[in-house]
Amino acid sequence: MFSKLNSLNSRFTIALLLVFVIGSILGGVALWSVLLRYAEQEITNRGLVMIDLITSVRTYTSNSVAPLLKPQQAQSATFISPMIPAYSARSVFEGFRASSAQEDLKNSIYHEAAINPTNVKDDLADEFEKALQLRMQQDDSLKQVSDYTQKNGLSYYYIARPMRVTSDTCLVCHSTPDQAPAQQIKAFGNQSGFGWKSGSVIAVQLIYVPADQVFTNTLRSFWLVMGIFLVIFALIILLINNLLGRIVVRPVLALNALANKVGDDQVSDADLLAPELARVTHQRDELGKLSQVFLQMVADVQSRTHFLKEQVKSLQIKINETQMKHEVAEIVESEFFQDLQSRAKNIREKRQAKASPSLPGGRLVIEKALDARKVGQSLDISSSPFLLSREIPLMNGEGEISRRHAEINFDPAAKQYTITDLKSLNGVKLNNVEIEPNRPYVLTPGVKIGLGSTFLLRFELLQSAPPA
């Protein structure tokens, strides 16, 4: 499985898949940001259009309708509501909602919310709207506030503007109950809608635009565009992968197969004329030039190999094994050879006796090792010199011990053992003091020998050194 992942084709595929995934994520984030920004702009524009439209209705009612109905109001026993801007604005907006074919406009809400309204039934502010009015009363610089809010279980985008008393004519009806028209008192009572002052914020003009449907449409558009994008991107990736396979991967695999046959000395003329290699060779790109040079090298190697094989065959020397055995037997059985063998044996025995004097019983006890099972086991010093090496079974597997770490020798004249660091990588310590390389140090019974930082030996002398 892992060998397949190491192939050139698999690496290209993985790289293209990474490009596909990363590109899809980055593209999706960018697209969602753009669509979300446009959705918010659309909601804002709709709200501004509607609130500007209602404001125009209020202005028209105040400037044109109210003056015409004022004489009739003076003679009428009942209150004429159409002369009030709030009533006209609410009526026009409700008609607009009823006639609209768009679902989100049907669910829009217009409200002139007031803490102290004349028409308590229609204009009384809820807690959210009261907070807005108080905020605008405290900050005269606020001309408009917009944000998202929840109302009746739905998400709305609202635009709020302060409504101020800008004309003293408003105070005729809203200063005190005794100055208000009798028709107004009869219609709305005398408990609310009074005490207004010039320049004060007496209400908040609010338009609520449903946001859920807009964001649902935005999300639907996002998935549609992303779906198209992913399909197109996937097709492009497949096309690129296919082209890479045909133009790059297959020619490289063909050259690799030929190289393996060259290494195994199994190249034939048919291999050099394979269709895949022929197609690569006729390409005018870098792969084509590379394949031409490679085929020429293969032809040269094949020619030289054939020439060498012929040379080996022509230069083979036939040896008469029977004659060779007879001549060897004559040499071995001769008196001169027998005498030479005897002398060599005597010299060898003398050298061994001189190089290996009788050693006192010395041993090394393991006190610390990576493998805790070795602790307590011992090594007998059986020769001089005695090499401390990771090739000794009890030292095998200790990572800080070198192949030639240290050497223990017995000095017959001084009747003592010494140890020498053979320039090991991790050094030698005696009683936790590091010694210099290539310099012998005397070993006394009980001394601690550290090979690196993970292996510790204790030197013991089992018997006294022999006399010199």
Q: What is the pLDDT of residues 377-433, one digit of tens each?
A: 999 988 889 999 998 988 888 889 999 999 999 988 888 999 999 999 999 999 999
134 lies in a domain? yes
Q: From 167, 114, 161, select the one nearest 142 (Cα to Cα).
A: 161
> Which pLDDT score is estimated for 465?
47
Residues 10, 64: one domain? yes
As a whole number of angstroms, the distance between CA 399 and CA 377 comes to 19
As a whole number of angstroms, the distance between CA 214 and CA 220 comes to 10
Cα–Cα distance list, 111 to 51, 119, 351, 431 (Å): 10, 12, 120, 94
> Which pLDDT score is estimated for 358?
64
Q: What share of the chain is helix, strand, coil (3-state, %, to 5)?
A: 55, 15, 30
Mean of pLDDT over the chain: 80
At 164-203, the pLDDT tens digits run 887 767 776 777 778 777 777 777 777 877 888 888 888 8
Residues 200, 253: one domain? no
Length of the chain measured in residues: 468
Residues 404, 306: one domain? no
Residue 323: pLDDT band (50, 70, 90) is: low
At 88-118, the pLDDT tens digits run 888 888 888 788 777 767 788 888 888 888 7
Residue 269: pLDDT band (50, 70, 90) is: low
Type of residue numbered 334: S
Looking at per-residue pLDDT, the higher value among 204 and 4 belongs to 204
Structural domains of the chain, count: 3
Angle at the Cα of 100 (from 95 to 103), degrees rounded to 5? 125
167 lies in a domain? yes
Residue with tokens 């829009």: 108
Residues 202, 288: one domain? no
> Which pLDDT score is estimated for 92?
85
Q: From 139, 146, 202, 147, select the one nearest 170 (Cα to Cα).
A: 202
262-265 own/partner pairs: CB under 8 Å, 24+ apart? 262/298, 262/301, 262/302, 265/305
Mean pLDDT, rounded, for 205-230: 84
> Which pLDDT score is estimated for 150?
87
Residues 251, 200: one domain? no
As a whole number of angstroms, the distance between CA 161 and CA 142 comes to 8
327 lies in a domain? no
Residue with tokens 């809010």: 149
At 17-34, the pLDDT tens digits run 888 888 888 888 888 888
233 lies in a domain? no
Mean pLDDT, rounded, for 55-74: 82
- Rg (C-alpha) for the chain, rounded Å, is 53
> Which pLDDT score is estimated for 186?
78
- On whether the CB atoms of residues 95 and 117 are closer than 8 A, the answer is no
Range of the domain at 405: 362-461
Residue 334: pLDDT band (50, 70, 90) is: confident
What is the 8-class DSSP label of residue 82? G
